[in-house]
């Protein structure tokens, strides 16, 4: 009886340790986004879909509805200095590429909604921006910080990524051309 | 008894209606650095602290201020998870673990004490004493005490 009890206790202990180990592995795997891994391998991962509230109060924006267009997806926050620096470049880029089947979308993360709205107003940003205060897109895209910009082709594949601020118009156009041509 | 309950309830009601920035900063988490606001100096934490002060000045209650942050950042912004839905697991699991531990230790202690009480006398080498030797030992002790 004692032997069986001891065996049972050992089995439970092993099961608990295995469960904790599994949890740790899962947590580590979660941290490493599939998008990041595939981009680093030179692949073109599918852009994770999202539906988020627009900051201009015009309801929600679903990425899926932009299928068939090239999308420039920029992650930013109002408190981020480099985001402030690149915002005029992005606004100018959206105007330059207007009417050429290229759509700019901003995703505001880790931010207060009111601060985000003031920021967009201050910089005169006219393209669509959504609010992701709960950071639901951050892990799935493998965003390492703000700003970060993803270039998505018409088929919904990520072709190019700029981690950090967009340096200049040429930098931005290079990413857009990659996505338009459908090759990284 | 009623007075005692009132004495404890009064500060809680006061805190709900007139919260201080310090208590809210210790109950809300910075979404970037994931520490409470009172220990964070991240830009978004500074903005959240300013918002707390502005909302207190505007007369919002503690629950209202917290609800505004939960609406924007989700329940992850609360330092203490709410006692409902999936977040209840954070409360139940440690208590269940503690209860199981107490039961397991109690059961083991009971088994050990029983095993010790039932065990036959043992010699220095750990082997049970020979019954004849045990009888002789008892007789010798009786003679010695008599």
| B115-124 pLDDT tens trace | 776 666 666 6
Whether residue A118 sits in one domain with residue A27: no
Q: Does A6 touch chain B (CB under 8 A)?
A: no
Q: Does B72 touch chain A (CB under 8 A)?
A: yes
For chain B, what are the domain ranges?
2-80, 88-145
Whether residue A6 sits in one domain with residue A65: no
Whether residue A66 sits in one domain with residue A38: yes
Minimal Cα–Cα distance from B43 to chain A, Å?
A: 6
Give the mutation candidate from B41, B43, B45, B69 for the A interface (greatest A CB count, under 10 A). Answer: B43
Dist. CA B144–CA A167, nearest whole Å: 102
Average pLDDT of the residues in B79-95: 80
Whether residue A77 sits in one domain with residue A8: no
> Class of B2-80 per CATH?
mainly alpha
Minimal Cα–Cα distance from B124 to chain A, Å?
A: 24
pLDDT at A77: 97
Minimal Cα–Cα distance from A42 to chain B, Å?
A: 29
The range of the structural domain enclosing residue A117 comes to: 34-181
Greater pLDDT, B51 or B34? B51
**For A73-96, how does the pLDDT look when each residue is reduced to its tens digit (9 = 90+)?**
999 999 999 999 999 999 999 999
List chain A residues with CB under 8 Å of B31: 110, 133, 135
Q: ipTM of the predicted structure?
A: 0.77
**For B35-83, how does the pLDDT look when each residue is reduced to its tens digit (9 = 90+)?**
999 999 999 999 999 999 999 999 999 999 999 999 999 999 999 987 7
Whether residue A166 sits in one domain with residue A89: yes
Q: Does B47 touch chain A (CB under 8 A)?
A: yes
pTM over 0.90: no
Q: Does B32 touch chain A (CB under 8 A)?
A: yes
Which two tokens mark B35? 């520490």
Whether residue A56 sits in one domain with residue A22: no
Say which CATH number the domain at A166 has: 3.40.30.10
Whether residue A132 sits in one domain with residue A56: yes
Q: What is the total count of domains within chain A?
A: 2
Whether residue A63 sits in one domain with residue A79: yes
Whether residue A124 sits in one domain with residue A38: yes
Whether residue A80 sits in one domain with residue A24: no
Where in the sequence numbering do the catalytic residues of A fall? 80, 83
The CA dihedral of A37, A42, A43, A49, to the nearest 10 degrees, is: 60
Which two tokens mark B42? 């991240």
pLDDT at B83: 74
Whether residue A90 sits in one domain with residue A41: yes
CA distances (Å), origin B104, targets A5, A13, A19, B97, B129? 11, 12, 20, 10, 33
Whether residue A81 sits in one domain with residue A139: yes
Contact A60, A54 (CB under 8 A): yes
Dist. CA B90–CA B84, nearest whole Å: 10
Dist. CA B31–CA A182, nearest whole Å: 36
């Amino acid at each position: 009886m004692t032997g069986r009890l001891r065996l049972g206790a050992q089995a439970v202990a092993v099961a608990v340790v295995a469960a904790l180990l599994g949890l740790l592995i899962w947590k580590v795997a979660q941290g490493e986004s599939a998008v990041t891994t595939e981009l680093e391998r030179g692949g073109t991962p599918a852009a994770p879909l999202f539906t988020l509230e627009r900051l201009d109060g015009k309801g929600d924006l679903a990425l899926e509805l932009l299928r068939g267009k090239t999308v420039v997806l920029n992650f930013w926050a109002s408190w981020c200095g480099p985001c402030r620096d690149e915002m005029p470049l992005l606004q100018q880029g959206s105007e330059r590429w207007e009417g050429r089947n290229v759509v700019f979308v901003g995703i505001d993360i880790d931010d207060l909604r009111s601060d985000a709205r003031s920021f967009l107003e201050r910089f005169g940003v006219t393209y669509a921006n959504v609010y992701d205060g709960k950071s639901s897109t951050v892990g799935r895209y493998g965003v390492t910080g703000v700003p970060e910009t993803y270039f998505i082709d018409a088929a919904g594949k990520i072709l190019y990524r700029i981690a950090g601020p967009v340096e200049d118009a040429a930098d931005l156009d290079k990413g857009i051309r990659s996505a338009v041509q459908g090759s990284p | 008894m009623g007075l005692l309950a009132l004495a404890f309830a009064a500060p809680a009601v006061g805190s709900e209606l007139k919260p201080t920035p310090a208590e809210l900063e210790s109950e809300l988490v910075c979404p970037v650095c994931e520490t409470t606001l009172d220990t964070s100096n991240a830009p978004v934490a500074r903005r959240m602290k300013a918002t707390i002060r502005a909302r207190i000045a505007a007369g919002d209650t503690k629950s209202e201020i917290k609800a505004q942050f939960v609406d924007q950042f989700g329940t992850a912004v609360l330092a203490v998870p709410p006692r409902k839905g999936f977040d209840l697991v954070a409360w139940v699991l440690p208590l269940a673990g503690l209860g199981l531990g107490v039961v397991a230790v109690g059961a083991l202690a009971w088994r050990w004490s029983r095993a010790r009480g039932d065990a036959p006398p043992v010699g220095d080498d750990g082997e049970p004493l020979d019954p004849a030797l045990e009888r002789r030992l008892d007789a010798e002790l009786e003679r010695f005490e008599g």
